[in-house]
Each structure stands twice: as structure tokens, then as C-alpha cells.
Amino acid sequence: MTNSVPLPVFVAVVIFVLGMASSLITAIIASLFLVEIANLMPMERSDKIKMVIIACFAIGLGAVLTPLGEPLSTIAVTKLQGPPYNASFWYLADQLGILIVLGVLGCALFGAFYVGRKAARVEVQEIADEGGLKEVFIRAAKVWLFVSALFLLGAGMEVLIFKYFTKIPDYVLFWVNMVSAILDNATLTAAEISPAMSQSQINAALYGLLISGGMLIPGNIPNIISAGKLGITSSEWAKLGIPMGLVLNAIYFILVFVLGINPTLGL
């Protein structure tokens, strides 16, 4: 495919398709596909790293559209499934979907211009992966235990959330959640999100968690998987992840809080 399709187009398609598909195939599977594709891309290692980081932002954003996508969305929908929100399967897609899809598309276009147009073609050197079926089951068990523990954490935080978080302005929650760059965003979702919060507070918190989760390796599961499989160091990730996260945060802040643009799908 890379011999017949221009590299910028191929990079954009990979980022967009994996970003959107992650809401159905899960962010973990999407990131494993990403690693295999990156291994086979005819690019220098530095260009592969750039593509993977941008794609992980897209996967982290796109996975929130359904509860299947990632622990963050599973926890958010489960905590909000009762009154007053009665969150259904498509609740997050309805509330965040339009700006999330545009964010994934923006990542794809950025990847095409920043990586695809500048990357030099080189001979492919595939990295062997020794993982097998056993690793799949082990990884699934770890994620199950992780999410289960986060539900317990969220239940224990309810009193604190009701007393303090409900009084924090939505735009403050957005910027405070930049801490998800160093703390897994699913953990912060379990600790923060509550039916006692207003819809604008919930949306602001989730936007902040989703975007900032891509800035550093510990921020999101796709980052951890991709960095581990490809041997990406923290400094290599931060070199692109931090400035990209800051720019995305600024764009979303202007759209949502300055211009008041946050359309719903009406699902």
C-alpha cells in the first residue's frame, strides 16, 4: 500500500481510521494495530515515533465515543447511567462527538503534513513481537482488575466530589485536568466524574482529560502500549507530545469556553 499510495495520504488514513475505530475495537486493540503498522512503515524511527504519538492522541480522543473504547469512557458512562443524566451507550458520542471527530480529523491532517510530507523512505526493518495468545489474556485480566479498582475509587470519592468538585467552574476543571499527562486519565475520571456535576462541568473535565492524556506516556493506555512495544523513551514522547497537547488544549478552550461551541448530535 505504501508503494501505491502517497505517504502523507497513508499516514492520514491510518491515524483517522484507528482513531475512529478505537471506540468499537477498543483503544488497546487500535494501539496494537498502530504498532504493527508503524513497524512496517518505510520511514526512519524518528518519523515513526512522531506518527505514533499523533495517532495515540487520535486514538485517545476517538475511543471516548462509546463505553467499549477505553476505561475512561466505560467509567464515565457507568457513573452517569442513573438520574439525572441516564447515560446510555451513545451518551458520550452525543455530548462530545462532533468536536471529538473534528479533533481526530485534525490529528490525521497534522500527521499527513508533519510526518508524511517530510518522512524519507527507508528499507523496512520489522521488529519481532514475541507476544502470543497468553499475553492477550494477561493484558485483558490486568485491564479488568484496573477498571474494577477504579470503580471502587470513584465510589470512595463521592463525598469529596459533591463537596468540592461541583463548585469548581468548568473552565478551571478543563485546565486542572492537564495533570492527566502524568496520571492515567481513567483514574482521574473515576475520582472526578459524578452525577452531582453539571453537564458543562462533565464535558469540560472529559475534554481536559482526553487531550492532556496524550502528552506523556503515563497519561493513557495507548501511549503505554505503543511506547513499550516500540521502545519510545519519555523524552522522545514529550518532545512532540507536550507541545501538541498544549496546542490542542488551547484550540478546544477557545472553541468550548470562549466561543461557546459544543454542539451535540441529538442522539
Q: Would you state the cell numbers that stand for residue 136, as one nine-digit string?
A: 492477550
Tens digit of pLDDT for each residue in 171-215?
998 998 888 888 778 888 888 888 888 999 999 999 999 999 999
Tens digit of pLDDT for each residue in 46-81?
999 999 999 999 999 999 999 999 889 999 999 899
Tens digit of pLDDT for each residue in 241-266?
999 999 999 999 999 999 999 999 87
Q: How far apart are CA 130 and CA 169, in angstroms?
A: 48
pLDDT band with cut points at 50, 70 and 90 for residue 120: low
Bridge partner list, 121: 43
60: left (phi over 0), alpha (psi -120 to 50) or beta: alpha
pTM > 0.85: yes or no = yes
Contacts of 261 (CB under 8 A, 6+ apart): 99, 255
Contacts of 120 (CB under 8 A, 6+ apart): 43, 44, 47
